[in-house]
Amino acid sequence: MAGFYMDERFGAWQVGNNPNQGAVQFKLSFPDHAKSPSQYVTRPNQPNYANPQITSIRVVGDFMPSLGLQSWDWINGPSLTQTPHPKGSVWTYQTPIQLSKDFYQYKYYVTFADGTARKVPDPCARYGGPTSQNSGFVIGGSTPTANVVPPVAGGRKHLRDLVVYELNIDDFTDQYRGSKAPVEAVQDRLDYLQNQLGINAN
């Protein structure tokens, strides 16, 4: 299912490009062995293998007061709706109102057929929250046209002269970001990356 994450926008995404507000859509996918056998190894001795036995999914977080609900109310979080998908099933929920621009945190409250429930982060989250392994999403921000990258001053370096650094945003900012959004926290360390580590590939 990971192959179509970006095309089908799994995770939590703002609906529309308004830089000041927007609704958010939450979207989860579950592969079905019967529809897409390549997703799982065949295990004929386990008839329920690859069936998560999920009866309901609620999304809960600090965005809930905008919906007239209490923040992090696990029992009354909005319910996702399950629909069929060619490779399995998809669970979705879209807020009925637009949220103000901000960084928000959330988790899913998943209930199973045996009555048990678990609080889980979003496996397709685009951001991580600062605490409790929460997932995050952003409403607002700049438009794509405002993010045109200017030409590199002095021209591009030869490949042999580039110093490249692969950065995991959550891990890199975990020790210092506090309540900031991870991407914003990375901006606080750009001078460190350039001037102390010598990163020159951008």
Mean pLDDT along residues 114-123:
94
Residue 38: count other Cβ atoms within 10 Å of its Cβ: 8
pLDDT (tens digit, 9 = 90+) per residue, 139-148? 997 766 776 7
With respect to residue 202, please indicate whether it lies within any of the assigned structural domains.
no
- Residue 25 clears pLDDT 90, i.e. is over it: yes
With respect to residue 147, please indicate whether it lies within any of the assigned structural domains.
no
pTM of the model: 0.71
Mean pLDDT along residues 184-198:
88
With respect to residue 180, please indicate whether it lies within any of the assigned structural domains.
yes
Same domain, 18 and 81: yes
Same domain, 112 and 162: no
Same domain, 97 and 164: no
117 in Cβ contact with 156 (< 8 Å)? no
pLDDT of residue 1: 40
Q: Which two tokens stand for residue 200?
A: 């020159």
pLDDT of residue 39: 67
Same domain, 109 and 80: yes
pLDDT (tens digit, 9 = 90+) per residue, 60-107? 999 999 999 999 999 999 999 999 888 788 999 999 999 999 999 999
**Domain extent at residue 159:** 153-196
141, 166, 182: which is the final residue of a domain? 141
141, 169, 185: which is the final residue of a domain? 141
- Count structural domains, the chain: 2
* Closest listed residue to residue 28, CA positions, set 83, 77, 102: 83
User: DSSP 3-state assignment of 23?
Assistant: strand
Determine what percent of the chain is predicted with pLDDT higher than 70. Answer: 89
Residue 104: count other Cβ atoms within 10 Å of its Cβ: 22
